[in-house]
Amino acid sequence: MKLFSSVKDVSDVNQLVSEAIQLKANPFADEHLGKHKTLGLIFLNPSLRTRLSTQKAAMNLGMQVMVMNMDKEGWALETQDGIIMNGTTVEHIREAAGVMGEYCDIIGIRSFPGLKDRNEDYSELIFNKFVQFCGVPVVSLESATRHPLQSLADLITIEELKTTAKPRVVLTWAPHVKPLPQAVANSFAEWMNKADYDFVITHPAGYDLAPEFVGNAIVTNNQDEALAGADFVYVKNWSSYQDYGKILSDGEGWMMTNEKLKLTNNAGVMHCLPVRRGLELSHEILDGPNSLVLNQANNRVWAAQAVLKMCLTQTLS
Amino acid sequence: MKLFSSVKDVSDVNQLVSEAIQLKANPFADEHLGKHKTLGLIFLNPSLRTRLSTQKAAMNLGMQVMVMNMDKEGWALETQDGIIMNGTTVEHIREAAGVMGEYCDIIGIRSFPGLKDRNEDYSELIFNKFVQFCGVPVVSLESATRHPLQSLADLITIEELKTTAKPRVVLTWAPHVKPLPQAVANSFAEWMNKADYDFVITHPAGYDLAPEFVGNAIVTNNQDEALAGADFVYVKNWSSYQDYGKILSDGEGWMMTNEKLKLTNNAGVMHCLPVRRGLELSHEILDGPNSLVLNQANNRVWAAQAVLKMCLTQTLS
Amino acid sequence: MKLFSSVKDVSDVNQLVSEAIQLKANPFADEHLGKHKTLGLIFLNPSLRTRLSTQKAAMNLGMQVMVMNMDKEGWALETQDGIIMNGTTVEHIREAAGVMGEYCDIIGIRSFPGLKDRNEDYSELIFNKFVQFCGVPVVSLESATRHPLQSLADLITIEELKTTAKPRVVLTWAPHVKPLPQAVANSFAEWMNKADYDFVITHPAGYDLAPEFVGNAIVTNNQDEALAGADFVYVKNWSSYQDYGKILSDGEGWMMTNEKLKLTNNAGVMHCLPVRRGLELSHEILDGPNSLVLNQANNRVWAAQAVLKMCLTQTLS
């Protein structure tokens, strides 16, 4: 695997999930694979779960890890081509990517969208330039439009816990005070479309995701209808794709609560974290038996480890 | 050992000191113990000695170390329960702690007091919530009211260098320009109370420590009287506990100098560092033969290594 | 080797280059050397290449690495002696250096000049104090006046690629919008003076480097004349040494371009990075076949590894 940026980069999703579950049972079985290999983790935006889980996954495989918080420890990067760099950007992404490719065998990179210019964000300008110029396999640690390691961890979580072959999985929009990227929702939808589930997306009017991500999902603005009989409920805020990057309303009534949980089939409740308690998800759910958020966080390790193992075995060996 | 936050968590202080001194003589004897174990170091406040010494201690034991500077690399944490998180805090400590417990076998955490609300600080709100929700052994890297790894290193230093069975140890307040926590002083007092020493605390009026930390120490506002015949002098500033978090005066005359050293039994002079030269302690003392500050700094490694070894052998094996 | 701050600290430059080239061919041949040894990397200023390449070099040698970004993770350091520290500096460099020497077997430190006071900068106050008080071997990661690991990597690059025994090497000043240190230019000149090359420095009037660094170089303000027949062209901005720290003009016409490349012997074009595209160096050169900037970046690893190996074998064994 030379690139892990989307479910489309995975030839066999079932095999990847199964690999992750095996690694979870036996984390150090492949620690010879990463000997003398270096993973570079580059963050253009803050990270907690992603950095720690990916770092741990790499260490489990015997890799060395170098972390670079570009926004704090490095320089401001220029991404435009052909420009005269007489302003505040100190290094062009062409050189920055090229240099890091010289020092690392695999690179993970995080780059959030600006949420100002939809075309620019959805072209994945920064992520793709990085891939183009670094010359080594690249793993997305969340790009402008996708968060594939999160989605793989989410899929692993459902596969581990589902009690029917084809569970009903509902992605529900939730309120938030800040305009957030669509990346987690897009990515979750993309991966659910690959799984053979009964997949439903619900959100207030105006929050439709891009059609390429919605795929074959059933979409409804009626949350109660969506939740009926759900086995898993994925709660997540995102800003508008149509009225790009905007918050359209305060979303009153959309917070997931125990009351709404009664509509479901005693569903497991998921969230990628960080979560705004009392706003996106109620305290009672997060502190109760239906919450799967720590299961998901734990599975981030095995998702990353399965992906890194694929990179090591299919590209670098 | 599941928790190292205070001397009260140590069943046998003498044995812990003796363990540390053995590790100092043979740092890598136990490097098999930490194989495949991960230490997470979480800093809500800046750190130099604590991070480097604890990181080194863990590496000596063969552990992997992941460092998270929450104030810079992570998100602002919410600590209040039941709140609607529609402000600037991005993640609740319940989730943050829970997630880090998923990735780490042992967690070290630093969290300074606010020095505004004594009850809140002395309830150790943040530290205790972290312990409650992370689900793995926790080592304090300095909390609101204590700095136990420092105190253990201080005790090791005295035990190594004392020439009588029951040395006279004096903790003396020193001037400073900023209001500092009582944590180092509290903690030192707590550990000295456990040791069978002749222990004296001296400070200007108004700087009494909380009685639970003072214990059986002799307390006097007369510094000269306290210093008379001292074998070890621990110099440290702290803000007022009574008039909580306040600086009461400029503390003129309280700086430790060579002149005052003459009152002592050629005492070793200690300070946890960082030290304000010319304000808390004179240049002449710090650059002279009586200074033990680098001995203390060095012993931070063996203190941390002894504690981590206890965690590994008594909890995780 | 106890100190690597200048070419003067190297007894045999040819041997050091040859060592680096051997390590490049066989990076892990000496990984037993660094077992149980710790490298501390201390940054008083930002770093990308230097941190990653030195970290990688140390890991290749089997060392543990601890990174400390003092400007962000640590405290503000005091460097003046005899001062009363009642201001904003929290720790004196004497203690900071001493403490880090207790935790590390080798220390690398980066400290840029202030560009305000030439005497202070050229006395290497901070770097030299650190060396004086840390008590372990020190490697410069760029000091006020020199960047020796960069220069060694540059020399390795020329030695690998030169097609004549005595190539013509030209150091040319380039425009920039910010006043930059003379360190890279000084250091390159110092190392080129040691190599038996035909070495030329060209810059606009007013940008003469300090005579101690210029050495036997031919110096001219006529860039075209300098470039004629060049085998390697090193492009770099620096602020004035005479009118200390100042930018004297916008440097129009001094940017290196393909047009100017025609004057040379199809020269390899070098730059230490980060580079301002379209200002110091044209896009066409950086994206074309003559650019050696990634070769140089790659060689930073082997330069650092050769130096660390010398430290390990000549001092610590």
Q: Is residue B46 over pLDDT 90?
A: no
CB of A301 within 8 Å of a chain B CB? The answer is yes
Locate A15 and state its tokens: 């095999």
pLDDT exceeds cutoff 80 at B173: yes
Q: Which helix (H) or strand (E) holds A24?
A: helix A13-25
What confidence score (pLDDT) does residue C250 get? 86
Distance CA(B277)–CA(C95), nearest Å, equals: 10
Tell me the two tokens of residue C215: 């050495």
CA dist B39 and B143 (Å) reads: 18
Interatomic CA distance for residues C145 and C181, integer angstroms: 7
* Predicted pLDDT at A73: 63
| Res B100: pLDDT | 96
CB of B140 closer than 8 Å to CB of B47: no
Average pLDDT score, chain B: 96
pLDDT at residue number A129? 96
Q: What's the start-to-end Cα distance of chain C, in Å?
A: 11
Contact between A102 and C297 using a beta-carbon 8 Å cutoff: yes
Amino acid C1: pLDDT:
85
Find out if CATH 3.20.20.80 is the number for domain A149-296. no
Task: Tell me the percentage of chain C whose pLDDT exceeds 90.
Answer: 92
Give residue B303's pLDDT band: very low, low, confident or very high (50, 70, 90). very high
Question: Sorting pLDDT into bands at 50, 70 and 90, what band is C73?
Answer: low
Chain B interface includes C62 (CB < 8 A): no
- Tokens at B233, concatenated: 């002098």
Asked if C290 is an interface residue toward chain A (Cβ–Cβ < 8 A), one would say no
> CB A72 to CB B74 under 8 A?
no
How far are the Cα atoms of A69, A80, A124, A143, C288 from residue A129, in angstroms, in the given order?
A: 18, 10, 8, 12, 17
Q: Torsion angle, CA of B233/B235/B241/B245, rounded to 10 degrees?
A: 180
Task: Show residues of chain C in contact with B293, CB under 8 Å.
Answer: 95, 98
Chains that touch C (3 or more CB pairs under 8 A): A, B
Looking at domain B3-146+300-316, its CATH class is: alpha beta
User: Is the pLDDT at C109 greater than 60, yes or no?
Assistant: yes
Residues 10-39 of chain A with CB under 8 A from chain C are 36, 38
* Lowest mean pLDDT segment, chosen from B130-139, B262-271, C70-79, C141-150: C70-79
* pLDDT at residue C71 tops 90: no
CA dihedral of residues A174, A176, A178, A181 (deg, nearest 10):
-20
The three state secondary structure string of chain C is CCEECCHHHCCCHHHHHHHHHHHHHCCCCCCCCCCCCEEEEEECCCCCHHHHHHHHHHHHCCCEEEEEEHHHHCCCEECCCCCCCCCCCCEEHHHHHHHHHHHCCEEEEECCCCCCCHHHHHCCHHHHHHHHHHCCCEEECCCCCCCHHHHHHHHHHHHHHCCCCCCEEEEEECCCCCCCCCHHHHHHHHHHHHCCCEEEEECCCCCCCCHHHHCCCEEECCHHHHHCCCCEEEEECCCCCCCCCCCCCCCCCCCECHHHHCCCCCCEEECCCCCCECCCECHHHHCCCCECHHHHHHHHHHHHHHHHHHHHHHHHC
What CATH number does the domain located at C150-296 have?
Answer: 3.40.50.1370
Instruction: Please check whether residue C275 touches A, CB under 8 A.
Output: yes
**C-chain residues within 8 Å CB-CB of A75?**
46, 48, 274
User: Nearest CA to CA, how far is C251 from chain A (Å)?
Assistant: 13
Give CA separation, B274 vs B268, C91, C93, C228, in Å.
18, 5, 10, 56
| Residue contact B275–C36, C-beta within 8 A | no
Within 8 A of C100 by CB-CB distance, chain B residues are 52
pLDDT confidence tier of residue C74, bands split at 50, 70 and 90: low
First to last CA, chain A: 11
- Mean pLDDT value of segment C232-261: 97
How distant is the Cα of A215 from the closest Cα of chain B, in angstroms? 31
Q: Which of A110-124, B186-200, C71-85 has the lowest mean pLDDT?
A: C71-85
Share of chain B above pLDDT 90, in %: 93
Please give the pLDDT value at position C316: 58
Query: Token pair for residue B55?
Result: 């990181």
Count interface pairs B-C at CB distance under 8 A.
84
CA distance C34 to C26: 16
Confidence category of residue B316, pLDDT binned at 50, 70, 90: low
CATH 3.40.50.1370 segments of chain A: 3-146+300-316, 149-296
C182 touches chain A (CB under 8 A): no
> Are B91 and A27 within 8 A, CB to CB?
no
- How far is the alpha carbon of C84 from chain A, nearest alpha carbon, in Å? 31
- Of C187 and A72, the one with more pLDDT: C187
Structural contact between residues B200 and B220, judged by C-beta atoms closer than 8 angstroms: yes
- Average pLDDT, whole number, for chain C? 96
In this predicted structure, the answer to whether residue C317 has a pLDDT above a threshold of 70 is: no
pLDDT in tens, C268-316: 999 999 999 999 999 999 999 999 999 999 999 999 999 999 999 987 5
Residues C140/C5, Cβ–Cβ less than 8 Å: yes
Two tokens, residue C100: 């880090």
**B278 CB near a chain C CB, below 8 Å?**
yes
Phi, psi (deg, nearest 5) at residue C121: -60, -50
ipTM (interface pTM): 0.95
Per-residue pLDDT of B73-127, as tens digits, reads 667 899 999 999 999 999 999 999 999 999 999 999 999 999 999 999 999 999 9
Residue ranges for the known binding site of B for N(2)-succinyl-L-ornithine are 142, 176, 236, 276
Q: Please list, in sequence order, all residues whose beta carbon lies within 8 angstroms of the beta carbon of residue C71, skipping any fewer than 6 positions away.
A: C43, C44, C45, C46
Instruction: Please check whether residue B135 is in contact with residue B101, taking contact to mean a CB–CB distance below 8 angstroms.
Output: yes
Domain with CATH 3.40.50.1370 in chain B: 3-146+300-316, 150-296
pLDDT band at B314 (very low <50, low <70, confident <90, very high): confident
The answer on pLDDT for B315 being more than 80 is no
> Where does the pLDDT of residue C120 fall: very low under 50, low under 70, confident under 90, or very high at 90 and above?
very high
Contact flag B48-C74 (C-beta cutoff 8 Å): yes
Question: In A, which residues are within 8 Å of C34 by CB distance?
Answer: none
pLDDT at site C46: 85
Name the residue of chain B whose CA is nearest to C69's CA. B48
**With a cut of 70, which residues of chain A have pLDDT below it?**
72-74, 316-317
Provide mean pLDDT across the span B165-185: 97
B286 — contact with chain C (CB < 8 Å)? Answer: yes
Say which of C278, C283, C294 has its CB closest to residue A102.
Answer: C294
Quick one: pLDDT at residue C70?
Answer: 82
